[in-house]
Amino acid sequence: MESPPFKTRIYSHLLETNVVALNRLTKKRILYFLCALAVMVAGLASRRYRDRLPEFIAEYAGDALWALMVYFLVSILLVGRSCAFRACIAIVFAYLVEVSQLYHAAWIDTIRQTTLGGLVLGHGFLWSDFVCYSVGVAVGVVAERGIEWLHKKAIRPNSGKPKSE
């Protein structure tokens, strides 16, 4: 039996490679979504049960978790981009939302008075929120880099060669 022409083999390989890459990106998107959901629940819990938390955690955890959630949501949209790029987009978005709290027009204050609007846009400008946002995004980057490092270490322990069975 004759093998398919070279061009056909190349197209077939490219299609397989793209399907594998697409599946990997889809899995990463699902993982980022689940992480965003978990962080959202933790952030809402940090607000709901703030009286049961240590004062420092109660004061700042919600803002850091909000920025971490933003990082994961940005990662869903830009899954193929570098970690640093996604972190920059998330931090710029978070900072812009904070700066927007200096602007008070009737229409945006009406949005902020709703539950969802208040959670997304916040209510009042605080310099400390910039630190919280930076910490939240940094936690996301460090966690993602750590997981990647552990994954590579599991695939290629010590010698850099694939694990033999």
Using the predicted structure, report yes or no on whether residue 160 has a pLDDT greater than 70. no
Cα end-to-end span (Å), the chain: 35
Tokens of 77: 């949209």
pLDDT confidence band for 162 (50 / 70 / 90): low
- How confident is the model over 127-152, as pLDDT tens digits? 999 999 999 999 999 999 998 888 88
pLDDT of residue 99: 93
Which residue in this structure is represented by tokens 């939302």? 97
Q: In angstroms, rounded to a whole number, what is the distance separating the alpha carbons of residues 8 and 2?
A: 13
Q: Is the dihedral of CA 86, 84, 70, 19 positive or negative?
A: positive
Q: What is the pTM of this model?
A: 0.77
At 143, the amino acid letter reads: A
pLDDT of residue 117: 83
Q: In angstroms, rounded to a whole number, what is the distance separating the alpha carbons of residues 91 and 7?
A: 45
pLDDT of residue 78: 95
Q: In angstroms, rounded to a whole number, what is the distance separating the alpha carbons of residues 2 and 103?
A: 71
- How confident is the model over 68-104, as pLDDT tens digits? 999 999 999 999 899 999 999 999 999 999 998 988 8
Comparing CA positions, the residue from 101, 75, 103, 80 lying closest to residue 90 is 75
Q: In angstroms, rounded to a whole number, what is the distance separating the alpha carbons of residues 92 and 130?
A: 10
